[in-house]
């Protein structure tokens, strides 16, 4: 069977919901899943590595990339810019590899416009109290920042109706199992396979 085009899997949800943790655990379980690293203008945290966690850019560098249409999506979030470089994603999909994007909600909607065939998964917290505890546990946020992130989270949760799937991140392993099931099911969808078999039928005739 000829190699099908890879799936673009968009994982997004509120800040603090555990997108990075779930994505990393998912990659440990699905070895061929390619993570597309985002560019950002926010300050690098102590444990983060350039080109591994993010491509860290100045605001001027980021704005120039927007001007050059180098992003698949970009968004401004809590005073910082985030974006997904376009070329890497498109090239990887064309090779038949699945790509996962770990991005904010506004960025996901931009991807929907450019890649409506993508798989859009909203990662949700069990409840708002748990979300607040996770943000506080980071130890990197001010009281004002926590308040802003929770207000934004409430707005984003109301947008989950625009996604294909909702996965509750109550336990990381369980969240990964649900996402893996989604990926398998999407690869088995009729529209992804049917053209190949139409060709086989014609060849037999």
Per-residue pLDDT of 117-142, as tens digits, reads: 999 999 999 888 888 787 777 666 77
Burial class (CB in 10 A: 0-12, 13-18, 19+), 166: middle
Nearest to 22 by CA among 102, 119, 106, 112: 102
205 — pLDDT class (breaks 50, 70, 90): low
Residue 107 — left, alpha, or beta (φ > 0 → left; ψ -120 to 50 → alpha)? alpha
What pLDDT score was predicted for residue 70? Answer: 92
Nearest to 81 by CA among 69, 63, 100, 67: 63
* Most confidently predicted of 72-76, 139-143, 146-150: 72-76
Look at 31 and 25; give whichever has higher pLDDT.
Answer: 25
Q: What is the mean pLDDT of residues 172-201?
A: 91
CA pair distance 177, 183, nearest whole angstrom: 10
pLDDT digits (tens, 9 = 90+) for 42-56: 999 989 999 888 899
Query: What is the percentage of the chain residues whose pLDDT exceeds 70?
Result: 96
Maximal CA-CA distance, the chain? 70
Q: Is the pLDDT confidence value at 204 over 70?
A: no
Helix axes 19-29, 172-187, angle to 10 degrees: 60
CB 17 within 8 A of CB 138: no
Q: What is the mean pLDDT of residues 98-123?
A: 91
What pLDDT score was predicted for residue 56? Answer: 95
Q: Which domains does the chain have, with CATH numbers?
A: 8-36+98-204 (3.40.50.300)
CB 135 within 8 A of CB 149: yes
């Amino acid at each position: 069977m000829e190699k099908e085009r890879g799936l673009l899997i968009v994982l997004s949800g509120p800040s603090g919901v555990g997108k990075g943790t779930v994505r990393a655990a998912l990659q440990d379980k699905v070895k061929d899943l390619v993570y597309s690293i985002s560019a950002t203008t926010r300050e690098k945290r102590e444990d983060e590595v350039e080109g591994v966690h993010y491509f860290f850019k100045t605001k001027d560098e980021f704005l120039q990339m927007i001007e050059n249409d180098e992003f698949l999506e970009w968004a401004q979030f809590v005073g910082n810019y985030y974006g997904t470089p376009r070329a890497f994603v498109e090239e990887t999909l064309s090779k038949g590899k699945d790509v996962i994007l770990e991005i904010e909600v506004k960025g996901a909607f931009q991807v929907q416009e450019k890649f409506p065939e993508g798989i859009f998964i909203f990662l949700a917290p069990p409840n708002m109290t748990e979300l607040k505890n996770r943000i506080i546990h980071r130890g990197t946020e001010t009281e004002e920042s926590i308040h802003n992130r929770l207000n934004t989270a409430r707005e984003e949760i109301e947008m989950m109706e625009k996604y294909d799937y909702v996965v509750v991140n109550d336990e990381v392993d369980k969240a990964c199992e649900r996402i893996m099931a989604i990926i398998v099911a999407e690869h088995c969808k009729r529209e992804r396979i049917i053209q190949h078999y139409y060709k086989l039928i014609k060849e037999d005739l």
